[in-house]
Structures are given as C-alpha cells and as structure tokens.
Structure 1
Amino acid sequence: MGEEEIELTGGNASGSVVRVGDTVRKPWIDNTSVVQGYLGVLREHGVDAPAPLGRDGHGRHVVEYVEGTPALDRMPLGHGDLLRVGRMIRSTHDVSETVPIPDPGGWTMLLPAENPNLMCHNDVAPWNLIMGDRWVFIDWDGAGPSTRLWDLAYAAQSFGMLIDGQPVESAAMRLRAFVDGYGADDALRGALPAAMSKRTAAMFELLRYSSESGFQPWAEMYANGHGEHWRAAAAYVARNQAAWERALKRPE
C-alpha cells in the first residue's frame, strides 16, 4: 500500500501539488528536466536547494519536502534575517554562473528580463522561502533565463516589504539590509531602484492583462486581490524611488 498523499495548498500556479512522505509531487512540465539538473548543480556547489528526485510512477516531478515555516508568516523580517536572505540569493546567483542557460528564444518566461544571461529562480520571495532548521527556497518550477538585476529586483521589493501602507523609512532600512547581505556593488545598487519599479509594474501588468484575456491562473489571482495589491505596490515603489536610491547609496 502506497504512502498517503496530502494536498499542499498556498501555491498559485503549480497545479496539483501533494506531499508523499518526505517528498513533494507535482506535474512534470516542459522545463522540469532542466530545473532538476539546475537544482542538482546548486546542491553540488553548496546551495541548500530541495533535492531533485526524478519522476514517480505517475510521471510526476519529485523533489524533497522541506520542513519549516514560510518566511511570509514572519514578515517583516528583522535586520539579521534580511542579511541572511541576501547572502543566500547571492550564493545562488554566483553558483548559477556555472550553469548553461537554455536558449531564451525557446523558453517561455512570464516576465522576461532584457538580455538574459543567468539561470534564476524568478520567484525568490517570502512565500517561497522555508525557514526552519534549514533555510531553503522552494518552488523552482519557474526557473529559467534571467539576470541578477531582474531576479534581485523582485526579491528586494518583496523581502523589503516595499508595499503600499508601509512607512517609507522602515521599508528603506529593510531594503538596505537585504542588499547589504547580497553584497551588491555600486553598479547594481544604482540600477536596483529603477529595476524594482519596472519589475513591480510588470507584475501588475501581467495580472491586468490576464484578467482581460482570461489567462489562468493569473486572471483568478487578479480577481482575488492580487491585482489591487500589485497595482498599489507598483505605485508605491515608483513614488518613493528617491528614498530607495538614498538608502542604497554607500557613504562617499
């Protein structure tokens, strides 16, 4: 008799996802074989990513189940935690330099970066970070060709809680801690505020377009409040760009 399958909830775009023992099973899609190889390389080079475990008897993508609490449940993160998350993402990006990227022209990306040159997670955000005995980013199904800047812009905005209603000074301090943890150089720090604005606006536009076209699951997400959240977040990030620039500028 097989092990019990427990449905996992909380995701928005992965289809049916279940836990079976200490594994997660989800649909095998076109990019899954590349994603499993990518996870293997990250782990070989010291990045604590979920172990890729091939396919099961039902043809599903199998990865290690990671115990812990989503970072989303602990927001806002404190200074030390933000430093740690920034270091985690930097390590992932550095190792990813060793991974050949697929032809971007033949790879479907929801929010494509300009001139992609690096394999990235593409959804490094609090809902995909598990915090427990280990801190591990999960849900790598959207991994693909991107850039450090585009991937970091999304992570910085989400982990810094640069969202409508947050005091700008507090958000700027969280942003600074996260980027300090990453160890960004001056060029990346200078480019990040505008990239965050562009990336946040792109997320809203994806949801808005999906609502108009019926593109799922994004259309349903738009209707369930994600559209308004990202509309307000995009306006907030753009409106306070000067504050982000000041926070990220290193002393002369």
Structure 2
Amino acid sequence: MDGEEVLAGGNSTLVTRVGDTVRRTAGPWTPAVHSLLETLRHAGITEVPQALGMDEHGREVLSFIDGDAAHYPLPDWIWEPCLLRDAGALLRRIHDASVGLAQADLTWQLPTHQPAEVVCHNDAAPYNMVFADGRLTALIDFDTASPGPRIWDFAYLAYRLVPLGENGGPGAPDEQQRLPRLDALIDAYGARFGHGQVFQTLAARLDELAELTDGRAAATGREDFLDHSAMYRRDRGRVSAMARGLSVR
C-alpha cells in the first residue's frame, strides 16, 4: 500500500512499516499473541513490541522497534559473548512473565507442547532480534508463540546462537567453542539444563520443524522451504551425533 515500507523477514506473511508502527496479516492466534505482549509489557519487559490493536484493513498493529537486524548470512558481531548473555537473560525474563498464560484457554498458531510451563516464542533467533551498539535490545515476531516447556524454546535459541547447526556462516565459532558457548547460554538463562537434555530436545524440535516446513512447501509451492527442511534434517543428525558423543565420554 502507498506509504508503506516492506520489512525484511516476514517469511510467511507480508510485514510492512507505517511510521512508528508495524502491520502484518492477522489470524485466529493474534488475540493470544497480543495478550502475551501485553502481559510482558505489564511485567516491565520493554524489549518486545507493544500491541496496538488492528488497523482498518484487519491487520495487527505493533510498535516498531528501531535498531540493527541480523539476517543470514549473519554478521561476525553476532557471535560476541555478550549477546549470548543478553539473549539467555531476556528469554528467561519473557518465560517467567508468561507463566500465567501457559494454561489459559487461548488459540495459538502452533500446537502446545507438554509440559506447558511457559509461553514459548518458538522462533527465538538472531533474525527475530534487534540490536543497538553491539547489544541485544529486543526480541520481535511472536506470531508463532505457543505454550510449552522452557527447554523447547531454549534449545532452539541455542541452535541458532551457539550455533549447533550448519547455518552459522563462515564467521561462526568452531566446534571446540560450541559447548563452552552453550554453557554460557545456560548460565545466562539460569537453569540446570544438561547438554544431553538440550540436544535431545533440539533433535525433536528439528524433526517437527522439518515436517512443518515440508507442509509449508506443499501449500505454497516454494522450493526454498524444501531446502530449509533438508537442512533441519541434516542438523538433526549433527545434534544426535553430539548427544552420542556425550554418552561415549
């Protein structure tokens, strides 16, 4: 539409900027997402968008958060240790504030995973983060949030930010750095997740993500989704090998 700037991302729906707001296609899950954002804001978490209702075209309206984005191929600065600390701590605050909504009778886009301890973001990754002066300032795009266990969300954050898959890029930390980086992220979140627990959860998460992405490919005819699902399956094998390596030690 006239006067709207199409934003990067929005892999499933068109996302545009209008002034200091973001507009995107709404769905049956939008009221739940707005309830989550309002809950987080009321808890003092300002590092998430503010829900501003709906516009005249039936799209949801969110506040725009200015800053630097991190899209693939990821920039080298994304691997700075301070960002592991920032991301782990922010995810913990979001989870803690969401506990009261985890059992609420709400409609979410993705299924609930048991135990439903918190409301998971379900896509906590650099491409859904905003940065300023080398620090994490916001987590955005809660459209696929749904209730689940804390580690379900944490494992995916580790997958993308440690990283634990093949898609880190040429500047990503090498294999020897990954377990220490995982430990740093666990410490920042403040939980007693073991490496094996993270790897097992991530393997299940990647299996589900590959199936979901295959379905999106079939529904849209987009072959790039098939490339993504193939990567998830390769990474599932990689993570399973990491778990086996732990059992051998």
**TM > 0.5:** yes
Hey, what does 1:59 align to over in structure 2? 58
- 1:240 corresponds to 2:242: yes
* 1:106-185 matched pairs, under 5 angstroms: 107-109=108-110, 112-132=112-132, 135-164=137-166, 167-185=174-192
Instruction: From 204, 214, 220, give the equivalent of 1:216.
Output: 220
Hey, what does 1:201 align to over in structure 2? 207
1:52 partner amino acid: A
Change (3 A) 1:107 1:23: closer
Change (3 A) 1:181 1:17: same
1:215 partner amino acid: A
How far off its partner does 1:107 sit? Answer: 4.4
- Distance in 1 between residues matched to 2:137 and 2:52, nearest whole Å: 19
- Distance in 2 between residues matched to 1:59 and 1:207, nearest whole Å: 26
1:40 partner amino acid: E
Are the aligned partners of 1:3 and 1:21 in contact in 2 as well (CA < 8 Å)? no
**Which deviates more, 79-88 or 194-203?**
194-203
Change (3 A) 1:5 1:230: same
How far off its partner does 1:130 sit? Answer: 0.8
Between the two proteins, what is the percent identity of the paired residues?
30
Hey, what does 2:170 align to over in structure 1? none
Hey, what does 2:41 align to over in structure 1? 43
- Distance in 2 between residues matched to 1:244 and 1:63, nearest whole Å: 44
How far off its partner does 1:183 sit? Answer: 0.9
How far off its partner does 1:136 sit? Answer: 0.6
Are the aligned partners of 2:120 and 2:148 in contact in 1 as well (CA < 8 Å)? yes
- Distance in 2 between residues matched to 1:57 and 1:125, nearest whole Å: 31
Change (3 A) 1:38 1:26: same
How far off its partner does 1:243 sit? Answer: 5.7
User: What TM-score does the superposition give when structure 1 sets the normalisation length?
Assistant: 0.82
Hey, what does 2:89 align to over in structure 1? 87
Q: CA RMSD in A?
A: 2.7
User: What TM-score does the superposition give when structure 2 sets the normalisation length?
Assistant: 0.83
SS of the residue corresponding to residue 70 of structure 1 reads coil
1:152 partner amino acid: F
Structure 2: segments with no counterpart, 5+ residues: 168-172
Hey, what does 1:34 align to over in structure 2? 32
SS of the residue corresponding to residue 122 of structure 1 reads coil
- Distance in 1 between residues matched to 2:32 and 2:145, nearest whole Å: 9
Q: Deviations over 1:120-142 (max 9, x none)?
A: 21111111011126611111111
Hey, what does 1:22 align to over in structure 2? 20
Are the aligned partners of 1:119 and 1:145 in contact in 2 as well (CA < 8 Å)? yes
- Distance in 2 between residues matched to 1:117 and 1:180, nearest whole Å: 19
**Which deviates more, 189-198 or 88-97?**
189-198
How far off its partner does 1:24 sit? Answer: 0.3
How far off its partner does 1:70 sit? Answer: 2.1
1:5 partner amino acid: E
Change (3 A) 1:24 1:12: same
